[in-house]
Structure 1
Amino acid sequence: MSMSLVLFFIWAVAANLLAMIPSRDNHWRRAYVLIAVGIPLLGYVTWQNGPWVGLLVLAAGMSLLRWPVIYLGRWARRVAGGNADGGGK
């Protein structure tokens, strides 16, 4: 197994352990740190193992950090002109 995948699995275990610890800010500070570490790690995995493995790692990371991805999607729709709430404005 390549070093990048070992680092990714350590990142995934750390993300799960951090999610189990109570937090006052709903884990957002931890999510920011995990994102900051995970993006370069995703690039390293993709560079070392190819784009298909990179896509699998991206999907795994998105499933672990699903709320930042959901909020990013809502923000992108709002910026693009669509209404994320479904209500009229």
Structure 2
Amino acid sequence: MTASLTLAALWVILAAIVALLPMRRQFAPGIVLLAAAPFLLVYLGYQHGGWIVLAASVAILSMFRRPLFYMGKRLIRRVRGAE
């Protein structure tokens, strides 16, 4: 197993542990995991190619769909309010 896949597996385990925390304690570690995701995707893409990045992207988007939808709606409201 290569280092990038080991790193990805560690990221998934940490994400699962964060998911077990109460909601009020998930925010800070969740933001760290979300911020680390693009770097992990780039590293995986460099090591293994596009298909692995696509699969990992789908998994990350699935895990963070609610926070990403919330941030997207908030961004849209902010842009519409600036007009």
TM-score of the two chains, using structure 2 as the length reference: 0.78
- Structure 1's unaligned 5+ residue stretches are 82-89
Larger radius of gyration: 1
Stretches of structure 2 that go unaligned for 5 or more consecutive residues are none
- Corresponding residue of 2:43: 44
Distance 1:37 1:10 in 2: 12
| Root mean square deviation, CA, Å | 1.9
Which stretches of structure 1, 4 residues or more, deviate above 6 A after TM superposition? Answer: none
* Number of residues of Structure 1 aligned to a counterpart in Structure 2: 80
d(CA) in 2 for partners of 1:72, 1:24: 17
Alignment identity in percent? 32
Q: Higher relative contact order by CA 8 Å / sep ≥ 6: 1 or 2?
A: 1
Distance of 1:21 and 1:6 partners within structure 2: 23
Contact persistence 2:18–2:30 (CA under 8 A):
no
